[in-house]
Amino acid sequence: MRIYFLMFLRSVLFAPLILICSFSLFAQVSKYPAISGRLTGAPVTSSPDPIVRMRWLNPTAAHDLETYQLRPVKWTVPDPGSFNLQQFQSKNIIEVTGKGDIGFDFGRTNAAWLEFDSDDLADSVTLSISEYNEPAIVNTGAIHPIKTLAPVKYGHLYRLELNPELYEGVRFGWIHVLSHQRNWHIKNLRLVCQVKPVNYNGSFSCSDPELTKIWYTGAYTVKLNLQKDYFGAILMERSDRFSWTGDAYPSQAASMVAFGNYDFVKKNLVNTAKLDNGIASYALYWVLSVIDYINYTGDVAFLKENIANASQKLDNAYQNFNNPVKLGFYGWDERLGAGFENPTNTETKHAYAMLSIRAWFEFGNLMKKFGEEKLADKYLHYATGKMDEERKKSSWLNEFGLHASADAINTMLTTPQEDSAFYQHNYMDRANRLSYSPFNEFFIIGAMAKMNKYNDAISAIKDCWGGQISYGGTTFFEVYRPSWNLILGKNDAPVNNQCGYTSLTHPWSAGVVKWLSEEVLGIKPTSPGFKTFQIIPHLADGLTSVKGTIPTLSGDISADFNAASGINKIAVPKGTLAEKISIPTGQNAVYKISMNGVVIWIKSASAEAKQYNTRISNGYVFLENLKPGKYNFKVTYKKAYQPTAVNSLPWKYTINSFKEDSLTGGQWNGKYGTDGFILFNYFKAGKHLQKLPVYVDSIVLRQDKNIYMDLPAANATLRDTTGAYKSLGAIATQDHIPCLQTMTIDIHASNSVPHQMALYFLDWDNKNRRSAIEIFDLKTLNLSAPVQLVKNYKGGKYVIFNYSGSTRIRINQVRGENAAISGLFFK
């Protein structure tokens, strides 16, 4: 298959987005019926969802999927003589006049398939799709790992069918004309997009447009993965497209906040009740999902039906607490064992222990609310008892890394002094307070909120989720590092690594939607079903306003706060009580407060103020026990509101400087390796030529595949210490096997003195390899450097940097047959 990555480097033409909500001309081969909702309301420019304004009449979990169609918003033609586009923008007709390729950008990722009509097709064609700007290639195990295939013909319709469900994650599409006999026409090129009928009953916006866009992007990510009967876990079919219980925890939480589709969340909880995907933590995430669902709905019957199942999962965690030998997976972050590579490590054990304590504590409190005193006492005793045991370990505050400390703080059982110790140790490094998985970052920003570190949390959200949008994402990713944006172009193929092919539409990353609604907007239930609730917004530095809605079964709870103008609105639905309300005032001195036109506070409390226990403290007006109704507040200040300037931490890495050498080629002796070297598989497969420096105790390779072959001598091929050439040797990733598209080189050092290292890459068979380098401190597994991209190395390329101490180097495949490295040189 030819690679078409040059296609999007050329200039593009722009076309308007056209939404088609009627049946196509070939309804008999449509997968699902056409969309039945109606577009209403004003445009929501912050949302990537093309039908964000679509409203269905009482959509339920029983509704089938529906379809709508999209036209591309941009296209590019590397072979302009092969396509006549004069009628494309106006009539969606392309005349094919020769062999070549044409690429299309549909503006956002969709759950869709690509098709077109033609009544005179005369040539051989294939179609491709992708989430990024090259035709996608995914893991082995997928029905079609290469997302390029000849279309299936239905009369005059030609459809790309890559799996029985048809849909894939599609933003970009291509038509490849492989032969040309005579001119013919592509008509009505479109994506057919599937959707589960669901309304945006929740909303969020604030004075920072980036945060608003993050909320809507997270909601859209979840919406695309709402399948007929369950929450999907991934759009691109790579053989694991089914409901993962733990993945569903943040996606279900986001779905309730954004859509209020509680019946569908309930259905997914039932579907996954007996599943844990072989992962210990996922059983506990299911329990936390049940707790979330009950807190949002008050569904007593469902709780009673699932107490026994939840108790069994919690009891299993108690039995395994002191020796969790089969954790299976905790996240893709290096510090958590890099996915399935090494999940039962010290940090993950600590994190799992704290997750267990949190689940016991929250479930115990829920049981107390419903009068299940025996169960409440049991699980609260589990939680407090095991937390006390951890405290007796004198080094626990220092041993817990970022993820374990976040899970500890989220138990709500840590003291302010413990939180401070965790914060100082784990949360003041901008790069390393980010997890590799947005899934895990959800728990980290949750911990920041509980420590009242909202400025840090907002900064981390912008780095993690805002960075994905800057990358070009219209949905959120499975994994992400902000330094990708420095080495990859917008919408470029991402780094593939421990997770195999990196999904760019993964709903486990959507927990930030709930966080923004509960922490920035500030609406949270204080009793099941929002019978009582609080509204305590947190306007971090730079924020002046926030408004939004949380859908509940009693009606919508809405809030609109503006600390600059002092104008604020709150709606309390029937059958509920707003126990605590906090109206933000910034740093202003308040002169007067009016509610619905009546003064309730001026200088000192009046009789009306006492009714609501009105008080002013720490930048808030506090009220209590607001009954159902709509409330308009006017806070009058003595001076104008001045927002606090935003101060972000700098990016700090221990390795910042890298050099590349494309001239030396295989003649390394005398320039590199004066202290030591290793030529991988130089003699034969599994036998390296090496001389380690005195300051390196050992080098350990993991996940690598040995490559050895006799090839003609070339300037780029590594020589031995005498300058002689014998063979080609390399270690390579095991592409495209899931979770093996990466390999590690662990360098165990005997000192921490800085030394130079050079890595040698050779694309010996010109397979257009692009590889990424990640570097970690081997002791802490913190990221030591921004990710580096290596490309265009068919003539050989050295990547040179200075490091100190024991170090892990992870080599990842980006594109090409695999990622391979031929040598490593010290000084």
Which of the pair, 647 or 761, is modelled with greater confidence?
A: 761
d(CA 257, CA 206): 16
The pLDDT assigned to 443 comes to 98
The pLDDT score that the predictor gives to residue 515 is 98
pLDDT of residue 713: 72
Domains and CATH numbers, the chain: 7-195 (2.60.120), 243-523 (1.50.10.10), 533-637 (2.60.420.10), 659-826 (2.60.120.260)
Higher pLDDT, 605 or 463: 463
Torsion over CA: 517, 519, 520, 523 (sign): positive
Lowest mean pLDDT among 262-266, 311-315, 394-398, 605-609: 605-609
Convert the pLDDT of each residue in 721-747 to its tens digit. 888 887 889 999 998 899 999 999 999
Confidence of residue 3 (pLDDT cuts 50, 70, 90): very low
CB-based contact 671:450 (threshold 8 Å): no
pTM tops 0.75, yes or no: yes
For residue 17, what pLDDT is reported?
Answer: 33
Give 218-251 pLDDT, tens digit per residue.
Answer: 999 999 999 999 999 899 999 998 889 999 999 9
pLDDT, one tens digit per residue, over 156-190 is: 999 999 999 999 999 999 999 999 999 999 999 99
Can you give the pLDDT at residue 606?
A: 63
Which tens digit of pLDDT belongs to each residue from 511-530? 999 999 999 999 999 999 99
Q: Percent of the chain, pLDDT > 90? A: 85
Q: Are 579 and 526 in contact (CB under 8 A)?
A: yes
Mean pLDDT of 534-559: 96
Q: Edge-to-edge strands of the sheet including 788-790?
A: 696-702, 742-749, 807-815, 770-777, 788-790
Average pLDDT, the chain: 93
Residues 257-306: tens digit of each pLDDT: 999 999 999 999 999 999 999 999 999 999 999 999 999 999 999 999 99
In contact, 759 and 824? CB cutoff 8 Å: yes
Is the pLDDT at 559 greater than 70, yes or no? yes
Angstrom distance (rounded) from CA 198 to CA 368: 34
Give the pLDDT score at 712.
Answer: 74
Render pLDDT for 348-365 as a digit per residue (tens, 0 to 9).
Answer: 999 999 999 999 999 999
Quote the pLDDT of residue 12: 26
User: Token digits for 346?
Assistant: 């010290």
Q: DSSP class of residue 500?
A: B
**How many of the other CB atoms lie within 10 Å of CB of 300?**
12
Alpha-carbon distance of 8 to 41, in angstroms, equals 35
CA atoms of 323 and 385, how far apart (whole Å): 17
Can you state the percent helix, strand and coil of the chain, rounding each to 5? 25, 30, 45
- 138: enclosing H helix or E strand: none
HEC secondary structure over 675-735: CEEEEEEEEECCEEEEECCCCEEEEEEECCEEEEECCCCCCCCCCCCCCCCCCEEEEECCC
- Residue 45 pLDDT > 60: yes
| pLDDT tens, residue by residue, 131-147 | 999 999 999 999 999 99
Structure tokens belonging to residue 90: 């106006």
Residue 19's pLDDT is 33
Average pLDDT of the residues in 384-409: 94
The tens digit of pLDDT for each residue in 418-435 reads: 999 999 999 999 999 999
pLDDT band at 711 (very low <50, low <70, confident <90, very high): confident
Convert 88-112 to b/e letters by CB count within 10 Å (16 or more is b). Answer: beeebbbebbeebbbbbbbbbbbbb
Burial of 514 (0-12, 13-18, 19+ CB in 10 A): buried
Asked if residue 10 has pLDDT above 80, the reply is no
Residue entry with tokens 């089969």 = 326
**For residues 768-790, average pLDDT:** 97
